[in-house]
A and B are shown apart, each in its own frame.
Chain A
């Protein structure tokens, strides 16, 4: 089970790394475009298309699994924390199954859409020129697939009664160690 946790953590970290690069790239590209427009009246082509259809999609969906791994998805801790440990375990198990099913549905349907976009070769048109946007559609099933895996891992952990099922899968020590190692 520990190996599965490590595998999940590695997968979520590496995909989130792509989102990190997208954040930096988006910052530089948008700032450069604004600077060039103000100074020289020149616009970098396809800035808004690249930002919206690639960078934003990467930033929104690739870190979903990391957010779950770090237990950072927003939830309400009003009633749950007052329940008995045994009841908590079963409720968490059922909810993780529901989350996994929801994400699996999202993975399937967004993959289907990505394949459709790929087949039709979706493009965005700006000033008469076109730019392919279909690759961006594949980011969604990737993000949701990894999130599905993380929830399935939590289900497995819940079934064997491991405490990690309801806790961050990356401890603070792991995060610090990873930062030192990277």
Chain B
């Protein structure tokens, strides 16, 4: 049997194990080790299995992952979202669909201090959905807007998804963060415009509020969002002003979040313990997959099947646009069933060489992948963000209503993706200034 065939069989076995609900990290490690064992024998296989876990985890650059996770969890459990929503509501609440638009921008603000879309959706959902329901908003619009706005968490820096992409694809994390800002702002604006147009066309979706805030109230509300603004300036500003590296930015961000949450009364022993516990469990689960993906990269390279897949895809003579659309389809499907970071790490060993050979800028591709994986977060049948919102509203709104509400945001996402593909500068412009 040729090495390429062994590689392809390995990928088939991997797919089977994943479908049978074997943990992604374990499946990747088992298949890659077995494949290398069959290809090269026991010594190289055990050698790779011995070295990769330590070599992968014992990295200075990777330490930004647990640090940014901790920062996000502290902000989440420290309750920094309430003031964000209040400020956005006072400025945007008078617009048609103003509360939903305020939720989108509130989530955008929270995304600047958290790298996770689930945390973003959960934090904003707890505050904004009940308020919109009380104001008589259409349940689909109220819940759909939060589920979709949550996806900004993984686009606007800091983003765990982009950090891991940067480490795997060897793209500077700071550049990816800047690219993510373009995609995140574009997405937030597209969502807001879509909500505005929908409510203008069908005012029954969102009754207009009579009690628009005065300028004094608006300015007063801005004071409440100082924790988030401070954190964003310290972390992202410090990084791009060259004061510290992305790795240091994570630690400084986490420490600043702890101090600010303590000053605002959001940091208790219980919230700190919960934040730290979630940080270590999430990190360990993610790193196990990353180690497995690292092993799979080696297995595919050693078997030559990675090269075979790349050559086969490129031999079709497909344009870069067709290639990107094909990859987009893969990510939308995977994103429906799998955690976005898991889906990304699972596919990068196969896709990165293809994208590299096709001459697509990896910086743009990283942001594109993040966007598509986040679309998967609101797509049926799984759509994690939708389930998070369902958890918030419990029995009062059905899952079907939330998914129907999300469809409009998926249309806005299609427009965003079309703009990203047609005008790559939307992503590449900010990084080019740095």
Contacts and interface: CB of A to CB of B under 8 A. Distances in A.
Interface in B52-78: 53-54, 57-60, 62-63, 66-67, 70
Interface string A69-83: 010111111111000
Interface of B: 17-26, 29-30, 33, 46, 49-51, 53-54, 57-60, 62-63, 66-67, 70, 243-244, 247-248, 250-252, 254-255, 258, 270, 273-274, 276-277, 279-289, 337-339, 341-342, 382
Interface in A101-118: 102-103, 105-106, 109-110, 112-113
B53 A110 contact: yes
Contact-residue bracket for chain A: 35 or more
Nearest to B254: A27
A153 interface: no
A136 B338 CA distance: 32
Contacts of B22: 75, 95, 98-99
Given A99-B26, A109-B50, A30 B276 contact: no
A9 interface: no
Contacts of A78: 19, 337
B337 A67 contact: no
Nearest to A22: B280
Contacts of B276: 20, 23-24
Contacts of B247: 30
B85 to A, nearest CB: 27
Contacts, number: 180
Nearest to B338: A76
Nearest to B272: A24
Given A52-B59, A64-B288, A26 B337 contact: no
Contacts of A179: 270, 273-274
Contacts of B25: 73-74
Contact of B49 (A31, A76, A98, A106): A106
A19 interface: yes
B54 A51 contact: no
B383 to A, nearest CB: 13
B288 A56 contact: no
Nearest to A37: B244
B290 to A, nearest CB: 9
A145 interface: no
* 10 shortest interchain CB distances as A-B pairs: A30-B251, A80-B21, A73-B23, A60-B57, A63-B284, A63-B280, A34-B248, A74-B342, A60-B287, A19-B280
A155 interface: no
B273 A53 contact: no
Contacts of A80: 19-21
B284 A30 contact: no
Interface in A33-83: 33-34, 38, 48, 51-53, 55-57, 59-64, 66-68, 70, 72-80
